C-alpha cells in the first residue's frame, strides 16, 4: 500500500471507530452529526478552521432536527471530544478553562475565547485532494447513524449536491469488488484478515463465506436468501464475538456486506444483506464432531439504506422477533446409534418437524424460512433411516458407496414435490444415490418409481416407529 493509501485508510478507520453509546433508549449523535457538517464544509471548499460561535449555532440547529437525543445545549462536547478521536483540532485550546472534571472546556470560556476548530490539517488536505474519500466517509456515517436518511439532512450539512441519490454508490468497496484473498481485502479496506464476521475499517460489518472453509454456508433452495453459519470453530457456538455482532445488526436492522469465495476462486463482495432470522441448528465443528451452531438468514438488498429495501424484505423484518429459533430442541446429536435407539431418535426428529410445521404461519413471510429449517431435521431423519444406503430397493448402482471421508453418497428428495402438495415430512422423503435420484426426477419410468418409493418410505417409517417402542 502506498503512503497516501495508508493515510486514507487510517482516516477511514478513525471515522469508523466512532461509537456513540446508547442513553435512555436513544443514541445521541453529537460527534457523527458535527463530523457530517464538517465534511460538508470541505465539499463546499470552505476554510479548514471555523469559529466556535459559528459551530455552536450550526450544531444546535442540527441537533434539534437530526440529533436523536443529542442535547443542543452541549455543542461544546463534539467540538472538543472529536480531538480524542484524532479527527479534529482546536486552535487556542491552551486559553480555555476546563470543567472541574477536566473533560471539556466550560461554556463561558468557549464563548469568551471563541476558539477555532476543524479537521487536522493533513486530513483536510487529503479530503480536498481525494473527493471519493470525503464521500465514502460521509456515506459510512449515514449508513451507521442516520439510516434511513431523514428528509433535509443532506441539505442541512451541505452534502445534498454530492450525495443525494448517490450515497450507496459512494461507499467503498462497491458490490462486485473482487480480491484474491482476505489479505488483499485487508490491505485495501482494513478490518481483520481471518475471522468470518467483522467490520472493515469503516466500521460496517462484513461476513465472509468460503466454499473451502469449515462452515456450511449456502443459498436457501428456491429463494434468494442466504444461510450463513455463525462464528466459532470448536464446540457449541455461543452468542458472543462475531455472533454477538450479528445479533446487534439484527436488532438494529443494520446492513451487512456479504462476501463469497467459490472453490478455487476469489473473494467477491456479492451483495448488501440484512439479517431476517436467527436459528440454532446441528452442524459439525473442525474436529468433525456434532455441535449446535447459529444459522443466520440473510436477505440480499440493493443498498444498505433502509428506505430502498423492497417490500418482501420489509415483510421478513416485520415477522422477525429477534429471538433464536432452536431447531435442535427435542432432538439429540445426529450420531450413529443402535437399531432401537435409531427408532427413538427418528421419532424425535419427526416430532420436531411436525412441531415446526404447526408453528409455521401459512401465507406469512416466515413460511419459506420455517419450511427450509424444518426440512433440515426431516433430512437428518431420512438419512438416519437409510443407514447409508440408497432406499430404492431396485437400485442397480452402488447403493452403499461413500465419499473419501466416509459419508454416504446420497441425496434426500421429496417424493411428491412440495409444489404439488407433497408433505414436508420423512414419510414423503427418500434418500437416493445420484443415479436413482436422476431416474426419479426425469427418467421415463419416474411415475412408477415414485409410487414405489412412497411405499418404501411409508414402510420404513412404520418400522422405525415400531422399533422406537421396544423396551
Average pLDDT for 25-42: 92
- 142-151, 271-280, 353-362, 408-417: least confidently modelled range: 353-362
Could you please report the per-residue DSSP string of 388-440? TS-S-TT--S-TT-B-TTS-B--EEEESS-GGGT--SSGGGEEEE-HHHHHHH
Predicted confidence (pLDDT) per residue in 415-459, tens digit: 988 777 778 889 999 999 999 999 999 999 999 999 999 999 999
Q: What is the band of 1 on the pLDDT scale with cuts at 50, 70, 90?
A: very low
- pLDDT cut 70: percent of the chain above it: 93
Q: Exposed, middle or buried by CB within 10 Å (0-12, 13-18, 19+), for 346?
A: buried
Average pLDDT for 284-303: 93
Is the predicted pLDDT of residue 207 greater than 90, yes or no?
Answer: yes
Average pLDDT for 325-348: 74
Q: What is the band of 4 on the pLDDT scale with cuts at 50, 70, 90?
A: confident
> CA distances (Å), 57 to each of 70, 93, 115, 118, 367, in order?
14, 20, 14, 15, 52
Predicted confidence (pLDDT) per residue in 159-195, tens digit: 999 999 999 999 999 999 999 999 999 999 999 888 8
- pLDDT cut 90: percent of the chain above it: 66
Could you please report the per-residue DSSP string of 128-167? HH-HHHHHHHHHHHHHHHS-SPPTTHHHHTT-HHHHTTTH
Is the predicted pLDDT of residue 141 greater than 50, yes or no?
Answer: yes
pLDDT at 391: 94
Residue 56 CA to residue 46 CA, distance in Å, equals 17
**Greater confidence, 64 or 22?**
64
**Greater confidence, 340 or 236?**
236
Bridge pairing between strands 267-284 and 324-326: parallel
- 49-53, 284-288, 337-341: least confidently modelled range: 337-341
> The sheet that has 50-51: what strands, in order across it?
50-51, 116-119, 88-91
pLDDT at 71: 85
Bridge pairing between strands 178-179 and 218-219: unpaired
- 52-61, 172-181, 256-265, 353-362: least confidently modelled range: 353-362
Predicted confidence (pLDDT) per residue in 80-138, tens digit: 999 999 999 999 899 999 988 778 899 999 999 999 999 999 999 999 999 999 999 99
| Average pLDDT of the residues of the chain | 90
Q: What is the band of 336 on the pLDDT scale with cuts at 50, 70, 90?
A: low
Using CA of residue 318, residue 319, residue 321, residue 326, what is the dihedral sign? negative
Count of CA atoms in the C-beta half-sphere (13 A) of 233: 7
Q: What is the band of 2 on the pLDDT scale with cuts at 50, 70, 90?
A: very low
Average pLDDT for 308-336: 86
Closest CA to 19 of 331, 254, 313: 254
Predicted confidence (pLDDT) per residue in 365-404, tens digit: 667 787 778 777 888 889 888 888 999 999 988 888 888 7
- 41-45, 228-232, 459-463: least confidently modelled range: 459-463
Q: What is the band of 288 on the pLDDT scale with cuts at 50, 70, 90?
A: confident
pLDDT at 360: 55
Is the predicted pLDDT of residue 276 greater than 80, yes or no?
Answer: yes
Alpha helices in 208-324 (DSSP H): 242-252, 311-319
**Greater confidence, 465 or 29?**
29
Amino acid at each position: 500500500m502506498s503512503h497516501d493509501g495508508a493515510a486514507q485508510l487510517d482516516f477511514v478507520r478513525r471515522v469508523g471507530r466512532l461509537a456513540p453509546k446508547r442513553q435512555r433508549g436513544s443514541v445521541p449523535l453529537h460527534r457523527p452529526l458535527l463530523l457530517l457538517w464538517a465534511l460538508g464544509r470541505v465539499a463546499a471548499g470552505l476554510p479548514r478552521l471555523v469559529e466556535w460561535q459559528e459551530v455552536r449555532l450550526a450544531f444546535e440547529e442540527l441537533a434539534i432536527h437530526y440529533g436523536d437525543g443529542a442535547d443542543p445545549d452541549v455543542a461544546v462536547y463534539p467540538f472538543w471530544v472529536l480531538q480524542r478521536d484524532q479527527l479534529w483540532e482546536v486552535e487556542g485550546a491552551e486559553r480555555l478553562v476546563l470543567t472541574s472534571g477536566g473533560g471539556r472546556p466550560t461554556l463561558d470560556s468557549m464563548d469568551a475565547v471563541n476558539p477555532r476548530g476543524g479537521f487536522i490539517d493533513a486530513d483536510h488536505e487529503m479530503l480536498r485532494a481525494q473527493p471519493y474519500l470525503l464521500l465514502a466517509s460521509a456515506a459510512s456515517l449515514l449508513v451507521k447513524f442516520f439510516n434511513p436518511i431523514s428528509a433535509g439532512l443532506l441539505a442541512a450539512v451541505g452534502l445534498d449536491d454530492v450525495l443525494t441519490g448517490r450515497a450507496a454508490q459512494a461507499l467503498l468497496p462497491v458490490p462486485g469488488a473482487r480480491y484474491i484473498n482476505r489479505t488483499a481485502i485487508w490491505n485495501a479496506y482494513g478490518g481483520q484478515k481471518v475471522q468470518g464476521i467483522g467490520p472493515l475499517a469503516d466500521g460496517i460489518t462484513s461476513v465472509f463465506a468460503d466454499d473451502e472453509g469449515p462452515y456450511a454456508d449456502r443459498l436457501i433452495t428456491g429463494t434468494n436468501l442466504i444461510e450463513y453459519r455463525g462464528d466459532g470453530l470448536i464446540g457449541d457456538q455461543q452468542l458472543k464475538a462475531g455472533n454477538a455482532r450479528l445479533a446487534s445488526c439484527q436488532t438494529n436492522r443494520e446492513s451487512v456486506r456479504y462476501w463469497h469465495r467459490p472453490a478455487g476462486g476469489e473473494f467477491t463482495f456479492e451483495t448488501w444483506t440484512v439479517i431476517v432470522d436467527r436459528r440454532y441448528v446441528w452442524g459439525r465443528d473442525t474436529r468433525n464432531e456434532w455441535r449446535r451452531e447459529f444459522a443466520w438468514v440473510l436477505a440480499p438488498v440493493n443498498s444498505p439504506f433502509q428506505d430502498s429495501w423492497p417490500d418482501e424484505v420489509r415483510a421478513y423484518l416485520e415477522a422477525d422477533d429477534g429471538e433464536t429459533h432452536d431447531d435442535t430442541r427435542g432432538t439429540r446429536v445426529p450420531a450413529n446409534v443402535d437399531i432401537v435407539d435409531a427408532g427413538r431418535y427418528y421419532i424425535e426428529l419427526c416430532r420436531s418437524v411436525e412441531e415446526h410445521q404447526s408453528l409455521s404461519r401459512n401465507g406469512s413471510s416466515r413460511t419459506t424460512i420455517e419450511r427450509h429449517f424444518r426440512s433440515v431435521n426431516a433430512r437428518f431423519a431420512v438419512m438416519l433411516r437409510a443407514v447409508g444406503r440408497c432406499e430404492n430397493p431396485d437400485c442397480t448402482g452402488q447403493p452403499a458407496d461413500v465419499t473419501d471421508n466416509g459419508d454416504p453418497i446420497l441425496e434426500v428428495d421429496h417424493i411428491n414435490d412440495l409444489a404439488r402438495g407433497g408433505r414436508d415430512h420423512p414419510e414423503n422423503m427418500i434418500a437416493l444415490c445420484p443415479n436413482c435420484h436422476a431416474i426419479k426426477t426425469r427418467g421415463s419410468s419416474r411415475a412408477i418409481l415414485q409410487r414405489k418409493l412412497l411405499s418404501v418410505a411409508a414402510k420404513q417409517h412404520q418400522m422405525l416407529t415400531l422399533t422406537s417402542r421396544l423396551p
